[in-house]
Chains A and B, each alone.
Chain A
Amino acid sequence: GAGVSQSPRYKVAKRGQDVALRCDPISGHVSLFWYQQALGQGPEFLTYFQNEAQLDKSGLPSDRFFAERPEGSVSTLKIQRTQQEDSAVYLCASSLTDSRNTEAFFGQGTRLTVV
């Protein structure tokens, strides 16, 4: 596609519900990563994939958060038993290579509201 696509754009979940957020990276991009952006804050790192391998998941805040990229393309971020503190914008980005010299392209994010 032309850019990184995330769906849904908005998600409202009741506390305790499971949610799944989808990211379609730019075709052929090796690197994919997820960030969480709370209201009024800068994005915070969640996890990084190189193709299908999850090389860094040090930012996942709890074992309720799980991410996968089974075929090295589309990625899903799953949050189980959502809580109010999970309310945030979840940003996905991709990059052509795994080099820090390569530009990362961000999607427009999914705004999750837990009520």
Chain B
Amino acid sequence: AQTVTQSQPEMSVQEAETVTLSCTYDTSENNYYLFWYKQPPSRQMILVIRQEAYKQQNATENRFSVNFQKAAKSFSLKISDSQLGDTAMYFCAFMKDTSGTYKYIFGTGTRLKVLA
């Protein structure tokens, strides 16, 4: 079975600074996807960034980038130039590349607070 571990329950960062959120996962699969989702108080999960396991290059979306280490099964999220609107819960998630389902395995989340 796959598992996702987020070891930082809470983090804080000063506005405009950089912060890195950690995520490790366990799987015997070779093909899979990894995601970071943001969940503000509105509860709506919003996709931040996605990485396909077969791609060597780390994904980047504007101020958000990942450090994907496949051998170490690590998938950290770096947020640059943090903004107050980045305050939210952040969930790391894993999904097997299998047809017939759409099953994310989520971690327990990291609560990020951006300080003014």
Contact = CB atoms under 8 A, between A and B. Distances in A.
Nearest to B96: A100
Interface in B85-116: 91, 93, 95, 97, 99-109
A89 B43 CA distance: 9
Contact of B47 (A40, A45, A104, A108): A104
B47 A43 contact: no
Contact of B44 (A33, A45, A107): A107
A33 B108 contact: no
A93 B35 CA distance: 15
A100 B95 contact: yes
- Say which size band chain B's interface belongs to: 20 to 34
B42 interface: yes
Interface in A45-92: 45, 48, 50, 55-56, 58-59, 89, 91
Contacts of B101: 48, 55-56, 58
Given A100-B33, A103-B47, A106-B46, A45 B108 contact: no
Interface of B: 4, 33, 42-47, 50, 52, 91, 93, 95, 97, 99-109
5 contacts: A42-B108, A43-B106, A45-B105, A55-B100, A98-B102
